[in-house]
Structure formats: C-alpha cells, structure tokens
Amino acid sequence: MLKKILFIFTLLFLFSVTVYANVSELTRENPISYDIQKKSVSFLAQVNGKYMYQPTRHFAIYEKGKFGEKSVFKGLVPNLDFYDALMKINAFAGNNMTLKNKETTHVQGTEFAVSVTWKGAGRSYSIDEVINESNNKPIVMKFGGNFENSKNKNTGCLLCFDSCPVGVVSNSTYTYGAIEKRKEVTMKGNKDILPADKTDVVITLTAK
Amino acid sequence: MKCIIKITYLGMVFGFIFSLILGHSLWLEMRVNTSLALPFFSLVGIGAGFLRIEDIPASLVLITQGIMVCLFSYIHGFDVMAWTIVPAALFRDGFFLNVISLLVINKILLCLIVLGNLSLVPFSKSFKLNIFKNG
C-alpha cells in the first residue's frame, strides 16, 4: 500500500515538475521556443484580468502592438517572431484572407491545438477550457499567415477569435465581423480557471 | 482645497461613467482606449477646481456616484471579482499604469474614493442650514 502511495506521489511530483519546467523555460528575454519534432511553438504571455469580465475578439496580442491591451493574454513575443517560429516548424500558412473577402471567408492553414499553462496550474488547459465561448462551439485556430498585413498594420495580433486578415493565427469557426459587427458570439477569459491578472502563462500551439 | 478635491472627484466619477458607457460598445472598445475618458474628465475637474468655478453641491457628487454604481451593477452584476478588477483595470488603462498591479491600483482607488467622499463632509453643515431656513 505504502509503495503504491509513494509511486503515485512520485508520478504527481514528476508531472508538476514537467509543467513548471515548461513555464520557467521561457523568460522576457527569451519569450518563445519551438520544437520541430513535436511541431509545436510555445510563447510567454500575461493574463489580462479585464477580459474575464468584458468581451473581446482577441486571444493574444503582442504587448507593444497597437492593440496590445485588448486581448485575454498580452503576448510577450512580437507578432513577426511568432510568425517566423510557426514557419520554422513547417506549418502551412493559408494566406487566403484579404481585407476585401474577410467577412465571407473562413481562415485556412495548419490547424493547431492551443493550450495554456502557468506555475501552479497542475496541467495544461485547452483553449476551449480557458475561454468562455457563448455558443459553446469549439475554437479552431488556423495559421492564416498574413505576414504583410501583420507587419504593416502593427496591431500585434497573434491569435484572434474570428477569421482575420491581420492576425497570424485565427479562429476558422467564424468569419470576420462575427464578434464585433454581427454579434453572433461573445468571447471572454474563463474566470473560474484562469489565474490572476498579470500572471505569466505559457501558450502552446501544436500542429494537428 | 476641499472644493478642488470635490470637483476633481466629480470629474473622476464622470470619467468612470463615460469609460463604462464607451467600453460597452465592443467595436469601440477594440479600437480605442475608452478608459481615456477617465483622465480627461479628471483633468477637466482639476481645471475647473483651480479656476474657482462656483462650489458644487455635495448632492450632485452623491447622485453621480450613485449613477456610476447603478451603471456598473447593470453591466457587470454583483460579482465581487468584477468589482475588484474592472474599475482598477479601467483606471490602469486610462492612466497608463501598466506596471502597477490591480491590487495596488485598488488601494489607490480606495484612497481616492475616501478622499472624494470626505470632501463632501460640509454637506451636513449646509443640511443643517437648510433645516434652519425651512424651520
């Protein structure tokens, strides 16, 4: 019996160490990492408590971008570095969104499983767990690319909640305008799961 | 001095009301810093205070404060966490205090609210005078 309990505790300890290691590996000086074998990219971000109570159309934006304060997570990695990291893991950029077709087109490109973890979280939470989506539809993040728009508009958008001609990665479930204009859905951070405002988190995208 | 504090506080409360109304429009909230209404109205209040515009009745400040509380309750309900996070976040965004935690901002806000309401204390004095006048 004692051996079993010790074994379970060892497993729990190793698991928590692994989760913590993921969080502590990334720093402000080195906020992004990628793994070509696992086809995954991880970056450091901070929780913005405001958007657990107010709706937004942005999952993560680079903190120094034009819209840096408008997302559930303030990304500490510049949007173009994020784009480069996704290209390095050989993700395919859809590049099918334009400023003209945005309201009728769903973003294409490599689909990602997006997860979030932080020190003390105990495990990684999927994007569907950390975001309250009013229609309860799954959030399907795809690599839209949009390098030129991302560079020229300098909004800092990393991941958006509807198909976006500027954001590097966006949700293909909805076309642009579904949140702000047509009010088809609202998105907020899940206050029952997410840690306090300004907590450092690691967001990981793994190609499906 | 009390008059300046009172008018500045009224400006701040107006700023909160406008921030809440403007921020309620998602389209606008996603494009501009709607919390800028907060420093704007606070500065208008400071300006008005220093220009020695006539003293304002305490009842005006209390009513405006009541409107702010009702508006906030309408938008965010009675969730205690929302009350501790959203006003502080509006204040932080409006005054560009991104390096300060919400906990510290809440303490600053609490001090400002106490100071603002203390500046209304002569209210009881004028209330007495009114009683005498009516009597």
Give the model confidence (pLDDT) of A165-194 as tens digits.
999 999 999 999 999 999 999 999 999 999
Is residue A10 predicted with pLDDT exceeding 60?
no
- Cα gap B7→A199, rounded to integer Å: 36
Report the pLDDT value the prediction gives residue A139, as an integer from 0 to 100.
96
The model carries a pTM of: 0.84
Summary mean pLDDT of chain B: 86
Shortest Cα–Cα distance, B133 to chain A (Å)? 49
Report the pLDDT value the prediction gives residue B98, as an integer from 0 to 100.
86
Number of neighbouring beta carbons within 10 Å of residue B118: 12
Q: In sequence order, what are the residues at sequence separation of 6 or more whose Cβ sits closer than 8 angstroms to the Cβ of residue A158? A: A43, A59, A60, A61, A62, A71, A75, A77, A79, A82, A167, A168, A169
- Identify the residue with better confidence: A203 or A8: A203
**Residue A181 is inside which H or E element, if any?**
none
Q: Is B78 on the interface with A (CB under 8 A)?
A: no
Shortest Cα–Cα distance, B111 to chain A (Å)? 21
Is residue B123 predicted with pLDDT exceeding 60?
no
Q: Is B89 on the interface with A (CB under 8 A)?
A: yes
Which residue reads 């991941």 in tokens? A159
Instruction: Report residue B86 as tokens.
Output: 């959203």
Which residue reads 């379970």 in tokens? A8
- Identify the residue with better confidence: B84 or A14: B84
DSSP per position, B23-78: HTSHHHHTTS-GGGHHHHHHHHHHHHHHTT--PPPHHHHHHHHHHHHHHHHHHHTT
Say yes or no for a CB contact (<8 Å) between B102 and A49: yes
Report the pLDDT value the prediction gives residue B135, as an integer from 0 to 100.
43
For an interface test with B, the pick among A46, A51, A54, A184 (most B C-beta atoms closer than 10 Å) comes out as A54
> Can you tell me the ipTM of this complex?
0.80
| DSSP 8-class letter at A131 | E
pLDDT band at A21 (very low <50, low <70, confident <90, very high): very low
Q: Kindly list the distances between the CA atom of residue B108 and the CA atoms of B14, B83, B132, in Å, as whole numbers in the listed order.
A: 18, 15, 38
pLDDT band at A155 (very low <50, low <70, confident <90, very high): very high
What is the three-class DSSP state of A125?
Answer: strand
Shortest Cα–Cα distance, B75 to chain A (Å)? 9
Say yes or no for a CB contact (<8 Å) between B26 and A179: yes
Range with the lowest mean pLDDT among A193-197, B54-58, B131-135?
A: B131-135
Cβ-contact A43, A202 below 8 angstroms = yes
Report the pLDDT value the prediction gives residue B112, as an integer from 0 to 100.
93
Q: Is A179 on the interface with B (CB under 8 A)?
A: yes
Report the pLDDT value the prediction gives residue B56, as an integer from 0 to 100.
82
Q: Is A52 on the interface with B (CB under 8 A)?
A: yes
- Cα gap A72→A3, rounded to integer Å: 43
Say yes or no for a CB contact (<8 Å) between A50 and B29: no
